[in-house]
Structure 1
Amino acid sequence: MSLILILEQVLNGLQAGVMLFLMAAGLTLIFGVMGLINLAHGSLYMVGAFAAAGVAAATGSFLLALVAALVAAAAAGVVVETVVMRRLYARDHLDQVLATFALILIFSELTRWAFGSFPLYLNPPDWLSGPVTLPGGIRYPVYRLALIGIGLAVGLGLWALTRRTRLGIRIRAGENDREMIAALGVDIGRLYTLVFALGAALAGLAGALVGAIQSVQVGMGEPVLILAFVVIVIGGIGSIRGAFVGALLVGLTDTLGGIFLPELFKLVTDPATATQAGASLSSMSIYILMSLVLIWRPTGLFGAKA
């Protein structure tokens, strides 16, 4: 196994990680501020991907497609929060799970009705197409490098928002004592809507960006949602920093496990079955990582101590 192949897989893991971060950051914001379990977050990811694919097909502009993904996902988030979620804040988590699971089915059927059952394809712009030669002779797609850069920029922007702005102060205060900030005159309903729209917009952006390297299809958000939950459990619920570190760990573990574990199995077992056994263990690797983190730190890497 060559060093160039390993470095390429590391970059692939970073790219997968930063895209997971966009998904997990919105999810952890919503849960941290509102205490709401939102299984429909993956559907907002799907809404962003389909909005981007539709606008790109109509206009030919990738940038307009990204704007459309942000607007569509944020608008869908506002509708979901005002119509459904506001009735669930004081309810049990089981009620929230059931209601948001119903939203998954609704979004899936509406998307199938609007766009059909066949996958759509979103092509990256010409100025982000093709490979670039990195130091060491690594030829890597420009678009995937751009995804890494966008994810890092969004992470920095979220840090600045939560740490350097008045809205960020209110978000952090809402995580700790929502009754107190409501008593101080903060419109808690408007804050919830803003946080939900922000989380939805991040999910929609992730869907649009990933849609250019895989097909856009109904149900594409649910597998990513599962990984996002793993990320926030590893990083710590309510922590943006934890979501970022957890997403990178999951992305690198999943990607590197896919190439190293089959090779390790070839050393200890029959090469004919090593690939299958290694692939099976690779698919379990992120859950093994989550288990180890929880054994060591039950609240996650950056979660508040009990």
Structure 2
Amino acid sequence: MSASFASALGAARDAAAAQHYPQGALYVVATPIGNLADITLRALHVLQLADTLACEDTRHTHGLLRAYGIDKSGAQMLALHQHNEAEAAQTVLARLQAGQRVAYVSDAGTPGVSDPGARLVATVRAAGLRAMPLPGASSVTSALSVAGAVAPAGVDTGFVFAGFLPVKNAERAACVQRLASETRCVVLLEAPHRITDLAQALAVLGERPVTLAREISKQFEEITTQPAQQLLAWLQGDTQRAKGEFVVLLHPVWVVDGADESQRVLELLLPELPLKTAVRLAAQITGAPRNALYDRALALRQSEQE
């Protein structure tokens, strides 16, 4: 056990032991996404209490438990991951029906969001048994909390969780085109070896602000907001920037259909403002690409002079 957590188990017992933890229930436990201190007292107590600990990777979870001073035998550990979730869920179900308390953890964060766990919970609930959430660390909500993704007036609040986009370029590009018309904040996840590919695909969104959050809660955490068309250049500015796990947020934006509305806004602004200012505001208001609006503004000014 890490000396830093020597008193954590006692604190967990004092804070959480008096609560009710029914037998025959599945406990879906959030674990830290990087910083080991981001574990809840209730999670520590349930990890000790569980008769069976189902986990995405038994080796990873053994290491996590050792850090907190929790000892589980091999017989108490059950691998449950994306490749065996349906089969392993039946084993969990049998143990729950025998009256065991079963806890499920993914490698990091909250299970069932982008990690395995959803099929397990569906199986348990379909059998009429209880699934109990133990909230905690989440890369999605962590990134949202510091992105400053404020919705413009007239745009719905809230966010859309899109997770990982397809690996193939054509399928990814098609997804980005669909997301371009989504005015709410869009949350994506990406691995380090594909982040530059994602940045290239998102460049078509032009000036739409995008927040990249990498290595959240870890030593080299970095969070930046850039226009979509500048993401790739930012990543290539330092080789370290493409390392780590990413949460990518497309900020909410006012999106209009067709070029007519963007041109109408541009024509209203040009007589009142300098050309570059009118273009910038028209892009922000309509979501149209700034370069296209700039070319249109030059053409309009030229036609006025003729």
TM-score normalized by structure 2?
Answer: 0.23
Higher strand share: 2
Higher helix share: 1
From the CA coordinates, give the structure whose radius of gyration is larger: 2
Q: Which has the higher contact order (CA 8 A, sep 6+)?
A: 1
